[in-house]
Amino acid sequence: MYLPAERQASQIRGDGDLAGDVGSANAARSPVGGSASRQASVNQRPDGKTEVTSKFVQQLFQQQGRPANARSAASQNHPKAAAQDPAPGPETMHSENSHIAALQAELDELQAERSRVAALKQRLDKALGELETERRDLQKSREGQEAQLAAQREENGKRLKRERRVLEKQSQALLRLPGRKERNEVEALEAVLEQVRRDGKAKEARHRLTVERLRRQIVELQDRNAELQEEVRLQPEPLLVQANPDQAPPAASVVHETRHANGKLEQTFANGRRVVTFPNGTRRHFLPDGRTQLRFSNGDCKCQHVDGKVEYFYAEVQTWHTTYPDDIEVFHFPNGQTEAHHPSGLKEVVFPDGAIRHAFMDGQELAVDAVRISDAIQRPCPQIDDIC
């Protein structure tokens, strides 16, 4: 069992005191010695071991040696007295034997005490070794903890430096941020810019439709010009279709057909409708009510009325563009949205959910009800079957 060094030393001192008490008790039981046998002397041997000699043993040997010396001195000084000294009797021999037995018992006790002291010393040395081992372990543990704390302190210092740099950058960025007034101005400019973007997109869409319409008009005029030039140059003889004079021809029957050298074909039907087919696939219909219809090869259709209204269908974007004689343009988009553009710059927009807004040239927009919209935007969307 492990005990601290101080506790083991106190136990050794306690065992030494117990041995002293045992020796004193034996000396008290001894017939000789008295108080002198209760004391002992400790002698250091040459081999380093400790030898304990009681006071009783020392006095015994002194008493045994003293008469011999005295008798020797007396015999030398008084030869007659020495010759007259009688030999020791049986009582003296018995007393000496008792003293020797007591001495032997005390020697045995001292040997046992010495063995106990050696065992205690061995335990103390073992405890000191364990204490030294524990001290070295604690020293190593402390050094490891100190190194860990130093590394942690260094890491914390680096982290604090990084955080300080980040905070400095953030503070500089905050200092460069605009104030409330500047932010309001920026927000207002962003709103204006967004409105300009929306207007630009709307204008771009209208311009694209206008360009497409003009391009189709140019193609139409070129075809018409080529048609007239070809008619003037060739003046072909008409190819008459024989009809039964007793029976009126049906409305869809061809009563007159002319083929030109450039591939153009003209057909006249019984109901008065005239169709001109061009080599590129474009077909022009001249209706009896005065309307003119054009069907282009890409699927677009155009219908021009006698009153000047023009209806155009863009097949690619599925959008109707109607232009009225008073220059009002109405657009019908495939998502259900309808727009009316007036010559004054006013734009009327009817959304698919029924909401109505007026957009002015200065960028302002106003939500209105159905009673404030024009008649042009209220007109139904043209149908492809009616036009083409």
pLDDT tens profile 325-361: 998 999 999 998 999 999 888 999 999 888 999 988 8
List the Cα angle 281/283/289 in 5-degree steps: 175
List the Cα angle 140/141/142 in 5-degree steps: 90
Overall pTM surpassing 0.75 (yes/no): no
Task: Compute the distance between CA of residue 288 and CA of residue 306 in angstroms, rounded to an integer.
Answer: 11
71-85, 176-190, 267-281: range with highest mean pLDDT? 267-281
The predicted-structure confidence for 358-369, as pLDDT tens digits, reads as follows 988 888 888 888
- Sorted by sequence, the CB contacts under 8 Å of residue 63 that are 6+ apart come out as none
For residue 124, the model assigns a pLDDT of 94
Task: Compute the distance between CA of residue 360 and CA of residue 344 in angstroms, rounded to an integer.
Answer: 9
| 173, 178, 183, 197 from 190: Cα distances, Å | 22, 15, 10, 10
Domains identified in the chain and CATH numbers: 5-81+95-140 (no CATH), 189-387 (2.60.450.20)
Share of the chain above pLDDT 90, in %: 24
pLDDT level of residue 182 (50, 70, 90 thresholds): confident
Q: Residue 112 pLDDT more than 90? A: yes
| 153, 206, 242, 250, 273 from 247: Cα distances, Å | 115, 52, 12, 9, 19
Please compute the mean of the pLDDT values over residues 41-68 and round it to a whole number: 52
Diameter of the chain measured on Cα atoms: 215
Looking from the CA of 232 toward its CB, the CA atoms found within 13 Å total 6
| 212, 297, 304, 323 from 307: Cα distances, Å | 23, 27, 9, 11
Q: Residue 113 pLDDT more than 80? A: yes
